[in-house]
Chains A and B, each alone.
Chain A
Amino acid sequence: MDNIVEVRDLCVTFKTSEGSVYAVSNVNLDLAEGKTLALLGESGSGKSVTMKSLMRLHPPHKTQITGSIHVAGRDVLALGNRELSDLRGKDIAMVFQEPMLAFDPVFKVGDQIAEVVMRHEGCSYEAGRDRALEMMECVHIPSPRKRLDAYPHEMSGGMRQRAMIALALACRPTVLLADEPTTALDATVQIQVLLLLRELQREFGMSMIFVTHDVGVAIEVADEIAVMYGGRIVEQGPVDQVMTDPWHPYTQGLLGATVYPNMDPATRLVSIPGAPPQLYRQITECAFAPRCPHATDECHQPLPPPTQTDQRMARCIRLPEVAGALPRASVLPQ
């Protein structure tokens, strides 16, 4: 098995006072070693839930997870608590949009990184601090030795983001999950962090899943892209192919709705009417049907298996007819 991450038929359902929320349905993912997969989708489409499932971070009593998840050859859904905490940080680690979630505000950054290393590798405090320093250098934090003793709130936004990456990578995980780590950053800082992640990935031979709602960010970092809508992956494939020749009407709509540099102000944006679906029932038909310009009666029937080629997948019954149908789909350079 060459894939470092393999997800099969993942379904995640939350029990809430308002009934079940079908957050993720029938998700399949394959991540090859050393590669980056971007999960692209709008708010509420299930990106973060998918990521948290890979680390089993959901509240156990309120969450029902079915399907299978393998990370670095381990069956994640079958792991006990001890093995789980072993897995987290060592095989798979996560960075978030908000670094303050990853750090405890009352402890020094250097000590928090050292603590993780000590816990996973059973080393001394000194060895942990040495690793912390090494990691702070790796992520290009200026005056790293001094910053080891800084508290999280004493760092600027960009620096905290780097420190969080240092924390996540301290035990050299084989897989890094990055959940919108640059969304809250300014443009000039965002590109620094994206370049840093790419560099570290090469250096450490890591695999990465990168969640974003920004097409440009996905193009900067990813080899493969998976587009999520209503809890399902609706399209997947190599990033250049999906971005230049989107098959699924939702992907086409998303690209048409995005404003690109040097667009003629007289061009109207392709707007997708309506809003994403509520997930209070299990959607077996195409979740995009209420907003899709190509929808017909058969689109409201349960969806058959997706269209699959060697490299690409799309979940639309009107393929190949509707592939490349929107005029703006050709906006990206071929």
Chain B
Amino acid sequence: MTAFLQVEGLQKYFPIGKNFLGRPTQVVKAVEDVSFATERGKTLGIVGESGCGKSTTARLLMDLSPPDQGRITIDGQAYGKGAGRKPITALRKRMQMVFQDSYASLNARLTIEESIAFGPKINGASDREASTKARDLLDRVGLDPDNFIRRYPHELSGGQRQRVNIARALAIDPEIVILDEAVSALDKSVQAQVLNLLADLKAEFDLTYLFISHDLNVVQYVSDDVIVMYLGQVVESGPAQAMYSTPAHPYTAALLSALPALHPKDRKTRAPLEGDPPNPISPPSGCRFHPRCPFAEPMCAETVPPLADIGGGRHVACHMRVPGSGYPEVRPIVTVAPSPTA
């Protein structure tokens, strides 16, 4: 039994710098052995700090950049290089993406209608059909077609542009939509409108979302399952509510306890982690989190912790959680309380 969307062993290294022979001097290990799965109609959240590989993962799935390795399966159909696989370009009809920068992702010289109708047209729709589709979708994302259809991107507000981007992503009837920081740049009042809209559209079109964000509260609110990335790797994955109430990986726990308080009496007195996330050019040996981890033991600097099954649909890459790993005192899941709740 495979899941609806299954991603296995995704990898992407970016060579950077050049020596006198024109050979790269370093590589950025942007994404390394990333695997995850989700079922139809679910939302999978992807969290992690800036530079951890969230956007690169999304770009690999969308074939905006070719993966070094990896396998993507939708509904049992494999995509990528190799026998029995469809070319990864065929994925784009099933998967669409909405980016953070609503402005850069629309062509400034196309009207809103042209932007939305573009996808259906290259997929064989007539002008008339494509135009009807554009009007329907605009209406669906809450923009009056008569008022907006002939406007250009610069004549819209950020929230309106993001609605157009969503309409455009839905225009070729995808099954999966990747939302990469799609609400992050919006003001709170507008962000709420777009989050409500995304929930409605998901129910109406039976969509599956990959929701990428650095905002842990929003991810918890929208996601069924969550994966946490650190320096190009998945360090924890599992059902959202379980992960947020009892984070298994020390990094997940740190992220959650770094959230600002909700009441002045609960203000933080101590930062959960010191320092900045290190650089994916020369990631630390063993467990990549070990230089910042409050639970690190000597073995953590030497042995890479595999993503281990800890039951309940949860996986974690931490020696401390895996009996027999050699970690001195294997502990069950710590309850590091997230920010106090209402």
Taking Cβ atoms with an 8 Å cutoff, the residues of A that contact B are 42-43, 142, 156-159, 186-192, 194-195, 213-217, 219-220, 239-240, 243-244, 253-254, 256-263, 265, 268-273, 275-276, 291, 331-333
Question: Is there contact, CB below 8 Å, between A186 and B271?
Answer: no
| Total number of B residues with any Cβ neighbor in A under 8 Å | 51
* Distance, CA A143 to CA B173, complexed state (A): 55
* Distance, CA A244 to CA B266, complexed state (A): 14
* Chain B: CB-nearest residue to A240: B264
* Chain B: CB-nearest residue to A276: B187
> Which of the 9-residue segments B13-21, B29-37, B213-221, B302-310 touches chain A?
B213-221
Question: Is there contact, CB below 8 Å, between A273 and B193?
Answer: yes
B147, chain A: closest CB distance, angstroms: 13
Question: Is there contact, CB below 8 Å, between A261 and B339?
Answer: yes
Report A-chain residues with C-beta under 8 Å of the C-beta of B272: 188, 191
Report A-chain residues with C-beta under 8 Å of the C-beta of B217: 259-261, 263
A-B pairs with beta carbons under 8 Å apart, 28 shown: A43-B187, A156-B276, A158-B275, A187-B258, A188-B271, A195-B269, A195-B271, A214-B260, A215-B188, A216-B259, A217-B260, A219-B262, A240-B263, A240-B264, A253-B189, A257-B191, A257-B192, A259-B215, A259-B218, A261-B220, A261-B339, A262-B244, A262-B342, A263-B217, A270-B192, A271-B189, A275-B190, A333-B262
Question: Is there contact, CB below 8 Å, between B261 and A42?
Answer: no
Question: Is there contact, CB below 8 Å, between B220 and A275?
Answer: no
* Chain B: CB-nearest residue to A45: B187
Report B-chain residues with C-beta under 8 Å of the C-beta of A194: 260, 268
Question: Is there contact, CB below 8 Å, between B188 and A42?
Answer: yes
* Chain B: CB-nearest residue to A222: B264
B254-282 CB mask vs A (1 if < 8 Å, else 0) is 11001111111111111111111100000
3 smallest beta-carbon distances between A and B, as pairs: A216-B260, A257-B192, A269-B192
* Chain A: CB-nearest residue to B338: A261
B220, chain A: closest CB distance, angstroms: 7
Interface residue B299 (Cβ < 8 Å from any Cβ of A)? no
B241, chain A: closest CB distance, angstroms: 8
Question: Is there contact, CB below 8 Å, between B277 and A186?
Answer: yes
Report A-chain residues with C-beta under 8 Å of the C-beta of B277: 186, 188
Report A-chain residues with C-beta under 8 Å of the C-beta of B255: 187-188
- A216/B261 contact (C-beta < 8 A), A186-B277, A258-B188 known: yes
Interface residue B123 (Cβ < 8 Å from any Cβ of A)? no
Question: Is there contact, CB below 8 Å, between B195 and A259?
Answer: yes
Question: Is there contact, CB below 8 Å, between A261 and B244?
Answer: yes
